[in-house]
Structure 1
Amino acid sequence: MKISPNASNAGMRFFAVLTASATLAIATLVSASSSHQVEQLDSLVVPRTSHVATALSDGRILITGGRDSAGNLVAVSEIFDPETQTSTSSATLATARVDHTATRLADGRVLVAGGTGDSGPLSSAEIFDPANPDAGFQVIPSTMTAARARHTATLLSNGPVLIAGGEGTGTAEIFDPTTELFSPTLWNLNMPRSGHTATLFTDDSVLLAGGSTNSMELFTPSDQRFTLEAATMSGARTGHWALELSDTRVLFFEGDTDNTIDEFNPVTDTITPKGSLGTHATSATLLVNGKVFVLGSDVAGLYDANAVPPTPPFIAFNETSVPGSSILPRNGQSATELPGDKKILISGGADTNNLFMGMALFNPARIWTDRDDYYPDEPVILSGSGWIANEAVYLYAVDNETQRWEYGTTITADASGAFAVDPYFIVELRHLGVQFHVTAVGAQSAMQADVYFTDNVTGILYENSGRTIKRDAFAWGATVYLGAAFNGQSGNRCYKVEWVNPSNVVVQTAQFEPNTLADSFLVPSSGPSGIWQVKLYEATANGPCSGATFPSTPTQTLTFDVARAVVIGALADNYVDLKNPSTVQNAAGTTLIVAKKSGTDEQINRLSPGASPTLRR
């Protein structure tokens, strides 16, 4: 069988054609500031399980059928809008059903076919037109040639739909959207199949796999014949997933008692067993980056078919690696890729206590910074993971004061879909107190990730207790006042302050509870003169000072000059430019010299060396 896969279309499941050449990249620890990969959304209009989610042409998601919390079949449909991230009620099915298919046709309409109703398997079908929702679901006068449930419906390239299996004799039929008629295929399947998968290839042939059997057969539209494949899967599968990784790689994912995975090469007609996932999946969705998003009743994680030992192919999420992921595990849900930003919409389902669940979004891509707060002059290191291997990722930042796009650049992800920019940019003094919003957009994938962070706590030295006049030079006997500007998480932590003399001896220390950092220091009346330091240590975690731990390196170090007298407005030590009035003060703040313009602009007075003035900036 020399064919090239195009897209997988297996009934209720939605797959995308991808190239998978990346290894799994999940951070083991969440960095200081990270984009959110999991978003909890509101509930469905009708909480349900075992429904079908279909991506519409405009990017919205149509949800049909299923069962409610009382076990009743659901007739009302609803539509999820990615723009508002809400689901609203839509048209009502003429016949409530489950185990049906909902296939988007070439003209944008959706064909809902078969399934199980209150009285058993259904042969009826309905069509919904999203462009004319008020018309509701229109029952097709022509019924299918057989009642079917757990069948497949595959849209062929020229418009018709191949409907196969889901009944006891192995029949198939073609639906023509133009005439809205069903007609049996010229040949039947080689064996009955139910709960199988259907994979569409570029030549319009369709591979049917499994369905309570380990066999596969290929449908060719030119003669409408089903040909049994020589290769067989490693075991019988039903209710599994067929995921196309590339033209030569199709994964058959679970559907057996041992939760195994097979890889099929349609060019060489070979099956390669990939071992067991190690857990039972309730959905498996191929991501745009080539990995598989797996949900189970008690697990969520990523499977990477390209993982190289000792890295395991499946890594489960936890609240450290993917915060918020505890809301993802469930059964009976749908997990559908949004056509726009390639996030996965998880809708409905129930938890292990059979409590019905709402909706959530999972973003395969992630970006994070090395810190959530920065000082001026500190570099911002930006990292990313979950992107397509080797794709270009556009980066730009916006601060909440100027609202301008800044620091635009493009970085290329590596073979694992990861990147690191060191530095992305340097925080400037003008950024004091602002919040940054950095956006990353994949050029190939269209995935987007956003992270927010601020500059850090900023210690400031003042000459007055009201902390309104900044100063970094003080005379002997003067009082130095320390204040702070808090940003991000910095206000929620304890701080330790050390005052250090020019001999590098700590002469005063204190701790301050969150949001109370305000210290003062009386410079000794005899100095010494020189450069003094104020070292700020931020606790390693939010909370009170009781039990707080501090890093060995200061979070910020401030410096100030100490001398017998202070020159205010000097150009350099011991010089006063008479072009601009300057003042020399002693420790008590008494003015010793007032320099004013006189004679020529070039006139300069030199102070006596004994005054030891220092610069007030």
Structure 2
Amino acid sequence: MTCERAYHTASLLKNGNVLVAGGDGGGTIIYNTAEIYNSSAGTWVKTGNMIYPREGHTASVLPNGLVLVAGGGNNEAPTLNTAELYNPSTGNWTKTGNMTYGRAMYTASVLKDGKVLVVGGFSSNGSTLNPTEIYDPSTGKWTLTGNLNVARYEHTASVLNDGSVLVIGGENDITEYSPVYTIELYNSSTGKWTIQESLNKPRIYQSTCVLKNGKVLVIGGQSGIKDLKSTELYDPSTGHWTITGNLHHPRSYSTACLLNDGRVLTIGGALFESDPLISAELYDPLTGNWTVVEDLNSARQDHTSSVLHNGQVLVTGGFGPFIQSLAELFDPSTDLSTTVIDIKHKEGSQPISEITNSKITLARERNRSKLR
């Protein structure tokens, strides 16, 4: 990439390129810059700057091809309620309607009707949010929808085949360890949330992936201070959870992506009070087993992973242990090779233990402390 980033977003555009926006550059640096990975040429180019610097935000590719970026925080505001749209045809950003609540470390999900559901996060006064909102691309406006039963941030949200949204994990209080083990399901027809059956092993900081058969795979995470190897499957037709194969290495804060052949790749992450991970593993839904693949070129946490149109997986940024400008490609056709793209490392980069930028405040500092 053209600069090092963590807590950024990466969005696969309709043309097959990837838009990377915002993020943490270390110290007091929070970016408003954005760049494009050209998947045909294998190169990075700068594109238009966002209106606001932000990290801990979300980015959603809308059915019309525009990218909605909302929320997060910067040095001027711990949380933002602003939202903006990126037009890949022009490379420019334009303002759109503001959210009702400023929020960071929340989730955004594109629903079947093209609207965007945002869930949870924490607000500028440090409170954790249970109000949820819907963005309508046809009007550019936000409207409140049903409240979560339990407020949370740093959870996961998965859009199911029937259009409902499954929310798992997170924490409830940014000042202390406060895991949320309640699982909730959003009905996009009624706007209501209902509590679902608990996991066999309650967890937070897990990654999730919706499989081609419609089931939801939940990977690793933490239970108390214990990092988990266990993985589970949620069946939307029954609402029940079943245990599936264990990871070879426990991990939290990893990414997970569905490959074109139906397997799931989980990448990096971290362990409790330990360094970021360099390993990656593949899950085969046909066998329920995990296979270790070749290590990344650099360990990383708070990175992104995107499945390109050619089936390869682009991994960008994160901490490992320095903030990374390094990007890598994983090729599922070999299950072995990762390719380094545009390696850069600024001499002024800071290790995680030295990063004190705090406008995302207590929540992110407490999470980073687990890596020291």
Task: Please give the range of the TM-score, normalised by the shorter of the 2 chains.
Answer: 0.7 to 0.9
Distance in 1, matches of 2:61 and 2:3, equals: 22
The aligned counterpart of 2:243 is 273
CA contact (8 A) 2:7 2:302 kept: yes
The aligned counterpart of 1:423 is none
- Is the aligned partner of 1:138 residue 2:94? yes
- Is the aligned partner of 1:117 residue 2:74? yes
Structure 1 pair 121/238, CA: closer, same or farther in 2 (3 Å)? farther
The aligned counterpart of 1:595 is none
User: Which residues of structure 1 form unaligned runs of 5+?
Assistant: 1-43, 318-324, 367-384, 387-617
- Is the aligned partner of 1:293 residue 2:265? yes
Of 342, 346, 349 in structure 1, the residue corresponding to residue 311 of structure 2 is: 342
Larger relative contact order, structure 1 or 2 (CA cutoff 8 Å, min sep 6): 2
The aligned counterpart of 1:178 is 138
Distance in 1, matches of 2:201 and 2:104, equals: 23
Structure 1 residues 511-526: aligned runs within 5 Å? none
Structure 1 residues 448-467: aligned runs within 5 Å? none
Structure 1 residues 408-427: aligned runs within 5 Å? none
Q: Deviations over 1:368-406 (max 9, x none)?
A: xxxxxxxxxxxxxxxxx79xxxxxxxxxxxxxxxxxxxx
Distance in 2, matches of 1:178 and 1:331, equals: 36
CA contact (8 A) 1:161 1:176 kept: yes
1:329 Cα deviation from its structure 2 partner: 2.9
User: Which residues of structure 2 form unaligned runs of 5+?
Assistant: 123-127, 172-179, 269-275, 337-372
The aligned counterpart of 1:4 is none
Structure 1 residues 200-239: aligned runs within 5 Å? 200-212=159-171, 213-229=180-196, 231-239=197-205
- Is the aligned partner of 1:92 residue 2:49? yes
1:130 Cα deviation from its structure 2 partner: 0.8
Of 3, 9, 12 in structure 2, the residue corresponding to residue 55 of structure 1 is: 12
Q: How many residues get paired? A: 309
The aligned counterpart of 1:450 is none
Of 297, 319, 326 in structure 2, the residue corresponding to residue 358 of structure 1 is: 326
Structure 1 pair 342/316, CA: closer, same or farther in 2 (3 Å)? closer
Greater per-residue strand proportion: 1
Distance in 1, matches of 2:316 and 2:236, equals: 33
Distance in 1, matches of 2:191 and 2:119, equals: 12
Percent identical pairs in the alignment equals 28
Structure 1 pair 267/333, CA: closer, same or farther in 2 (3 Å)? same
What amino acid is aligned across from residue 361 of structure 1 in structure 2?
L
- Is the aligned partner of 1:128 residue 2:96? no
CA contact (8 A) 1:214 1:235 kept: no
Distance in 2, matches of 1:80 and 1:308, equals: 34
Distance in 2, matches of 1:326 and 1:240, equals: 20
1:250 Cα deviation from its structure 2 partner: 1.2
- Is the aligned partner of 1:250 residue 2:216? yes
The aligned counterpart of 1:165 is 120
Structure number with larger C-alpha Rg: 1
Q: Deviations over 1:132-158 (max 9, x none)?
A: 21xx22122x31111111211111222
Distance in 2, matches of 1:284 and 1:248, equals: 15
Higher mean alpha-carbon deviation, 249-258 vs 166-175, is at 249-258
Structure 1 pair 73/262, CA: closer, same or farther in 2 (3 Å)? same
1:328 Cα deviation from its structure 2 partner: 4.5
Distance in 2, matches of 1:169 and 1:350, equals: 27
1:106 Cα deviation from its structure 2 partner: 0.9
Q: How large is the RMSD of aligned CA atoms in angstroms? A: 2.2
Higher mean alpha-carbon deviation, 252-261 vs 159-168, is at 252-261
Secondary structure of 1:336's aligned partner: strand
Q: Deviations over 1:199-248 (max 9, x none)?
A: 2223322122222322222211222111111x112344333222122335
Structure 1 pair 295/158, CA: closer, same or farther in 2 (3 Å)? closer
Distance in 1, matches of 2:104 and 2:246, equals: 28
Secondary structure of 2:326's aligned partner: coil
Runs of 4+ in 1 over 4 A off after TM superposition: 305-309
Structure 1 residues 528-543: aligned runs within 5 Å? none
CA contact (8 A) 1:347 1:358 kept: yes
Distance in 1, matches of 2:296 and 2:149, equals: 44
Structure 1 pair 300/268, CA: closer, same or farther in 2 (3 Å)? same
What amino acid is aligned across from residue 194 of structure 1 in structure 2?
Y
